[in-house]
Structure 1
Amino acid sequence: MKTTYISTISMSDSARTQMMKQASTVNTLQIELSSGRKADVGLDLGSRTGEAVTLRSEFYYLHSIIDTNALTASRLDISQAALSDIRTNSEEFLASLVAVRDSDGAASVTQAEAEGGMQLLVSRLNTQLNGSYLFAGLNTDEVPIADYSDVTSANKVAADAAFFAEFGFTQDDPAVAGITVAQMDAYLTGNFANMFADPAWGTNWSTASDLEVESRISTSEVLSTSVSANEEALRELAQVYTMMSDLGNVNLDSEVFKTVVDQAISMLGSAIAGVTSLQGEIGVAQERVSQASDRLSIQTDILNERVNALENVDLEETSVRLNTAITQLETTYAISARIQQLSIINYL
């Protein structure tokens, strides 16, 4: 025969242990009710924990691409706006050249417009976003185009040197009036044109890379999302503005001036078409980025639902369980208090 000893202290200790377990349960349920998520996902899911971790990893990866796409979209929007300004200004300059070609005093008018056009071109091609130059290709930390208005700039120095080497005097020399149509035509298609072709363009005008920035816009798509300042259309615009602002046009013979204007008009038409094409490419990229983000948003919503199904709790069920646990804990407290009051002395 086995005798089990029952004492007030053993009963009290048992009650205390029970209260600790119930208090822990109440605390866990309160956490789940306030957060809506399992207090210990690993303990609750067991072997399915790996699935939850994988889903969360995929969710954060796709979400990071969506965030990157938002920045990419901003870069494309600003690039599109810059190209629009460049195109609009060049169209207005073309209209002005056609209108004043045979007018007296046209040279001074077009020179001022060309200087303004050059400043706008340089300004827009040197556009920044978050410290990165948008038209610099991969060289995003370098200013793409040298400022032609700076007399010490490499492109201005090269243009002055080329003119002097060709004619033997500077652009503001009265001797400019003696340049013939043949001489000017030879210069425009020869040494002058060479300044805007490689390697002179990369040496004196541009630090931009021909390689453009590529962005991952989805798990399977990589897209070119920039325009380089080295594009042919942008070089042609720089050539036209230089031609019309810094060849001593005010002092040129009228027929020679018309030769310069005709060359500028022809080149402007080509440049405007080129800029329009670049805008079209940017527009296509904008649409693809937008569509990719929309698809990724749908995917992340699905992943989020699956993660929630694994990790979230039923709030109504949790609320009922919490109320039950609190009731049980209060009952245990009451019983424990009664046990604490038990004493054999009361029965002697």
Structure 2
Amino acid sequence: MPQEPSRPANGGADTVELLVRRVDRVGDDTIALVLADAAGRELPAWKPGAHIDLVLNETLTRQYSLCGDPDDRSAWRLGILREPKSRGGSEYLHDRVEPGSRLLARGPRNHFELRDSERYEFVAGGIGITPILPMIRQVAATGAEWRLLYGGRRRTSMAFLDELETYGDRVLVRPQDEFGLLDLTGFLADAPAGSAVYCCGPEPLIAATETVCAARPALRLHVERFTPVALPDDASDTEFEVECAESGLTVSVPPGTSILQAVREAGIEVLSSCSEGTCGTCETDVLEGTPEHRDSVLTPEERKAGESMMICVSRCRGRRLVLDL
């Protein structure tokens, strides 16, 4: 088992030791892990859209969306797709984890929160269904209007179809080998103004959904990405300084070096995971200065406020930042 890390400068949730209760096959290349607290305690509370970090070894930490029932504090459930081009996380979990295995986890964290709305339009592609499942469960319980458009390469590869069948014709299952690419324009054409659109899946699906919703500004789009976004056209790579207010250190961040790298080299331990700006683990409060956001986590409103940043990828618009590190 990996050793529990020391408390990082940017805080973060405590590490929990988990016991694998079950490993269920839920799609051709997808398993569901059902996890309990190894000591028999209640697990931390969470809300739809949350994810946890699984600490698989000293160098391998990966994020997975919680897709079980938030009201059940005795167990967490994760959907894990075997990714042929993965960096080792999905392979590890598919090949080395079985009932009785123990894992370390951090979290939950939530940058994909379910907001109140009278109507929801859910769009999921492949394993992107995982954060959507508990959202649907909650929305269905409240009586709000909703629909789901769910795509995948083929029907047998699409996870959790048996659960979704219980919702009847609110769920549109559209495997690509039967229907082609998802008809996002048609699906959202009659969505009333003010509808909340939640999308998770591969980058081409998210980009296409953003394009459709850009033509319908009255729709409120929320997305969660698995891969980093492209750098903005005006992205800079100049040197700047970071003052670490809590630690009392000031470090230079040269071109080609991230803030995360620079502060770690200065001896400040910071909690991080993906190093791509997609997970939110390294989020750090900004006390002074203007961040140049390059993450895939913060909303446009949060970017404009500039109150926090993902220091694994984002930089400074100027010469100096003061961070709560």
TM-score w.r.t. the length of structure 1 is 0.20
Q: Which has the higher helix share?
A: 1
- If asked which structure has higher relative contact order (CA below 8 Å, sep 6+), I would say 1
Structure label with greater radius of gyration: 1
TM-score w.r.t. the length of structure 2 is 0.21
Q: Which has the higher strand share?
A: 2
